[in-house]
Each structure stands twice: as structure tokens, then as C-alpha cells.
Amino acid sequence: MRRDRTTRRISGLLSGLTLLFAVAACASVESGLASREGSSAAPEPSTAAASPSTGSPSPSASTSPSGTAHSTTRPRPTEPSSAPPKTSAAVEAGYPNAGNTGPRGFLKRDASGNVSIRTDGAVIKGKDIVGSLDIYADDVTIIDTKITSTNWWGVNLRPGFKGLRVLHSTITAIPGEGPDNGGVNYAVSNMGSSSIEVGWCDISVFGNALSMGQGYLHDNYVHGLIPFRNSGGEWQHTDAVISGGGNSGKLIVRHNTLLNSVPVDKGASAAIGLFADTGHVSNTVIDDNLLAGGAYALYGGGDGATGITVTDNVFSTRYHRYSGHYGAVTAWNAGGAGNVWSGNRFSDGTPITPRKAG
């Protein structure tokens, strides 16, 4: 009897041990399968940011005791790590336009007409002027103002004066008015011998919009130039920026939109024209502008030009296949002392290499 009872106890113990070993073996196999499945799948890209307070993992992931998250869904294709290149439109959208230039705030109508300013330090602000401003004073500031000219200039700094600043303003004209059979020539002209500043301005209509050998021209939107014939019946040349050379100071043209949509058979010259009309062009910086139109978008100063740096400009093809009617650039003196050409490209990113001057 005792032997039978002992035998039955041993048999029960053996059966229990066998069952425990079987359960443990199954758990081990399932754990191994889950581990292999988790390690072979790429983690699911998360579409929602984790809470910064808890750092909780995504609901679609399970966390192992070691803290490693494993995906429980099918992996998605990996997205490219770098952003796609910007389109031409996106590149050009980063430059000055009608939305970020011109006056800020309310303007009061001023019907004074063509006025001469003769007070040093005068500030013209918040005005809507029909006429022009002739500056015979130092350190004049024109800001948050609109000028609609019936003269051959919008703002003109006379010889012997300095320190003019034209900021956050609109300067335009009425086509068909003014001298020279309707020829309105200069939105801002620097006839002085020192630098002036023109910034964040919306400029249109004038055939040669910004005319100077020295100055700081930045963040302006020059557009809508109007072709016109001079008193001799000839088409007048048009340029968004023009310098006649022989300057003693420095001309900086930086981060402007400079457009010349005038047809070449009606006088289009350039978006930026550096011409040796009154002497060699020198000491000029053309940097990070959006250029388009003209016979050539840029005239580079010619054979005698020195100290000209042309860097990181975008040449738009909105009017012509190669930015200007005949090409992007001409009259570039690659061998001139201090001349630098770097980073200039069409709006699709294609680099531009200028031809030699001559």
C-alpha cells in the first residue's frame, strides 16, 4: 500500500514537472519569434509629436523591458533625408515685392507740386505727394511716403549735398507727363558726391529708376518701367539701376528685385547697367539681387572696370530665355583688379559664366 502511494506521488510530481517544462519551452519560442519579428521591421514614422512632459511612445509601438520600441505594423518606405530643391517661383518669392516694400500706415495727400527742400535734417513722412522733391540740404530723410511725379525725377539730390535717405516709400510717375515729350527719367538721382541710402521702396515707371555712382540700394522692388521717346524722337534707354562710372565712392546694390520688361526695340538696356560714360566703373558691389530683362540683365562695366564684385545673384527668365534679350551678362572684365564673379545663377539653379568684355 505504501509503495503504491509513493509511486503515485512520484508519478504526479513527474507529470507536473513535465507540464512546467512544456509551458516554459513554448514561452521561449514565442519570445524568440517576437524578438526576430521586431528587429527585422523598421520603426513606423511617427505622425504626432510625443508629449514633452511624459515622453510616451507612440501607441503603435510596444516597448521591451530594455526600453527599445519595436514596430507592430508594416514598415513604410523611407523618405529622402534632404528637402527637394526649390522651384524658380519659390526662389524668386524670397525677394522684395509689392507686399514688403512701400509706405507703412496712413498717408496724407500733399498737393504742393514740385518742391525744393532746403532745410538740413528735414524729414518728409506720411505724405502722398503729387510732384517731385529737389534736395538742396544735408541729411534729409524721406520715409513712409508716396511720390507721384510729373517731373523728370521723383527725388533728386543736388551737387554739394549729402546724407539723403529714402526709405519705405513708393516712387512712381504719370506716363506722358513731364519734359522731353513725356520722358520721366529718374526715380532717385544722386548728383551729390557722397553715398545715399534707398531701401524698402516700390519704384515704377521711371526709365532709369535708380541713378547713381555711389549709394546703398537695398531691399527695393523696381518694376513696370515705361518706354518713352525723348524730345528728338528716339527711344530712351531704360535701366532699373544705372551708374555712369567715374565714381569716387562706393556703390552697393544688395537684395533688390530689379526688373526691366521694356522690349529691346523700345530702348531696353539692363536691369543693372554699369557703364563707363563718365569714367571707369569701380568699387561696386552687386550682391543677392533678383535680375530680369533688358538687352542684357547686367552690364558689367567694360574693359577698364575694377573692384567690381558680383555675387549670389539670381537671373530670372521671366521675360527672356537667358534673363536678358541677348543674355544674362555682358562687358564683364574678368581680369580687372579686384573683380569677383561668384555664385551667380539662373532661377532654376544653373550657374552663369560671363563672356569676356570687349
Average pLDDT over residues 71-100: 66
Residue 217 · residue 255 · CB < 8 Å: no
Cβ of 263: how many Cβ atoms within 10 Å?
13
Cell of 23: 509551458
Average pLDDT over residues 110-118: 94
Q: What pLDDT score does 123 carry?
A: 98
Average pLDDT over residues 57-76: 34
Cell of 144: 513712409
Q: Is pLDDT above 50 for 314?
A: yes
Residue 259 · residue 226 · CB < 8 Å: no
Q: What pLDDT score does 222 carry?
A: 98
% residues pLDDT > 90 (the chain): 63
Q: What pLDDT score does 84 carry?
A: 53
Average pLDDT over residues 304-325: 97
Cβ contacts of residue 159 below 8 Å, gap of 6+? 191, 192, 193
Q: What pLDDT score does 178 carry?
A: 66
Q: Is pLDDT above 80 for 68?
A: no
Q: What pLDDT score does 232 carry?
A: 79
What average pLDDT is seen over the chain? 80
pLDDT in tens, 170-189: 999 987 776 555 555 899 99
Q: Is pLDDT above 90 for 268?
A: yes
pLDDT in tens, 11-20: 554 444 444 4
pLDDT in tens, 321-357: 999 999 999 999 999 999 999 999 999 999 999 976 6
Q: Is pLDDT above 80 for 195?
A: yes
CA atoms of 277 and 181, how far apart (whole Å): 24
Q: What pLDDT score does 88 carry?
A: 85
Instruction: Kindly report which listed range (100-114, 221-235, 246-260) carries the lowest average pLDDT score.
Output: 221-235
Q: What pLDDT score does 29 carry?
A: 35
**Residue with the larger pLDDT of the pair 305 and 41:** 305
Instruction: Kindly report which listed range (66-70, 101-105, 108-112, 352-356) carries the lowest average pLDDT score.
Output: 66-70
CA atoms of 79 and 162, how far apart (whole Å): 57
**Residue with the larger pLDDT of the pair 350 and 26:** 350
Which pairs count as long-range contacts for 204-207, CB under 8 Å and 24+ apart, including other chains?
204/171, 204/172, 204/173, 205/172, 205/173, 205/174, 205/175, 206/149, 206/153, 206/154, 206/171, 206/172, 206/173, 207/183, 207/236, 207/237, 207/238, 207/239, 207/267
Question: Residue 233's pLDDT band (boundaries 50, 70, 90)?
Answer: confident
Q: What pLDDT score does 225 carry?
A: 94
Q: What pLDDT score does 80 carry?
A: 38
Q: What pLDDT score does 348 carry?
A: 94
Average pLDDT over residues 280-293: 97
% residues pLDDT > 70 (the chain): 73
Nearest to 314 by CA among 80, 134, 168, 95: 95
